[in-house]
Amino acid sequence: MLTALLVMSAIALALGAALGYSAIRLKVEGNPLVDKIDAILPQTQCGQCGYPGCKPYAAAIASGEADINRCPPGGEEGIRKLADLLGVEFKPFGNETAGPKPKSVAFIDENVCIGCTLCIQACPVDAIAGAAKQMHTIIASECTGCELCVAPCPVNCISMVPLPQTPQTWKWQYPVYTLAPVK
């Protein structure tokens, strides 16, 4: 009886020590779920979700404090992916969140720009080139279309230009045809 108890408690101690050690040794840095959610988010860093960037929003979703339908640039496809990942129901865009817009990039009217650098400080991805009292310009290939530079401009010289569809960016459409009734 006593031997059995001793053996069992020895095993329990040994396993507990092993588990405790591996918990410290193999500790995962950060929350892996946050990274998975962050990978789905479109990285516009636009703050339309109410959080200062995609990563903070991902962290908020992971901790359960934010809904999955707060990201307009990700579109419904993004919500669907988040729902799949988290095992929750799909949720359409709510009233408080604007729906997705066509992809645009910012454009600076160079005749009006006074070179104040306010937009440069607002750009989350460093997509504006310029310096104080020098002309600013958008690096269109880096611009995520977050619109964060539009509000700070004191002379309203920044506008969002929707990206036109060209033969280079065009996509084949889903085939639409009529099915014949089966007789």
Partner 1 sequence: MRALHHFHGGIHPEEHKLESSGLPIARAPLPQRLTLPLQQHLGSRAKAVVQAGDRVLKGQLLARAEGEMSAAVHAPTSGLVLSVDLGAVPHPSGLPDLCATIEPDGEERWIERATLDFCALPKAELLVRLRDGGIVGLGGATFPAHLKFDLKPAQAIRTLVLNGAECEPWITSDDRLMRERAAEIVQGIEILRHLVNPAETLVGIEDNKPQAIAAMRQACANTGIEVAAIPTLYPTGGEKQLIKVLTGKEVPSGGYPLHIGVLCSNVATAYAVHRLVNCGEPVISRLVTVTGNVRTPQNFEALLGTPIEDLTKLAGGALPGSADYILGGPMMGLHTSNGRLPVVKSTNCIIVKSPQLFPPLPPALPCIRCTRCADACPADLQPQELYWFAQARNFDKIRNYHLFDCIECGACNYVCPSHIPLAQYFRFAKSEIRALEHESAAAALARERYEFRQMRIERDKQEKAEKLAQKEKAALAARQPAAAPVAPQDSSTQARIQAALERAKAQAAAVTPKNMDALTPQQQAEIAEIEARRARARELAQAQDIPHNSNNAD
Return residues touching partner 1 (CB under 8 A): 38, 41-45, 53-54, 124-127, 142, 144, 165-168, 170-175, 177-180, 182
**Between residues 20 and 32, which has the closer beta carbon with respect to partner 1?**
32
Shortest approach of partner 1 to residue 171 CB, angstroms? 4
Shortest approach of partner 1 to residue 8 CB, angstroms? 48
**Between residues 30 and 114, which has the closer beta carbon with respect to partner 1?**
30
Shortest approach of partner 1 to residue 3 CB, angstroms? 56
**Between residues 38 and 157, which has the closer beta carbon with respect to partner 1?**
38
- Sequence-distant (6+) residues with CB within 8 A of 45 are 53, 54, 124, 125, 144, 146, 148
Length of the chain: 183
Q: How many other β-carbons are positioned within 10 Å of the β-carbon of residue 77?
A: 11
Q: How many other β-carbons are positioned within 10 Å of the β-carbon of residue 23?
A: 9
Token pair recorded at residue 183: 């007789």
Shortest approach of partner 1 to residue 18 CB, angstroms? 37
**Between residues 43 and 97, which has the closer beta carbon with respect to partner 1?**
43
**Between residues 41 and 112, which has the closer beta carbon with respect to partner 1?**
41
What is the spatial distance between Cα 31 and Cα 65, in angstroms, rounded to a whole number? 15
Only one residue has tokens 């929750």, namely 88
Shortest approach of partner 1 to residue 38 CB, angstroms? 8
User: What radius of gyration, in Å, describes the C-alpha atoms of the chain?
Assistant: 26
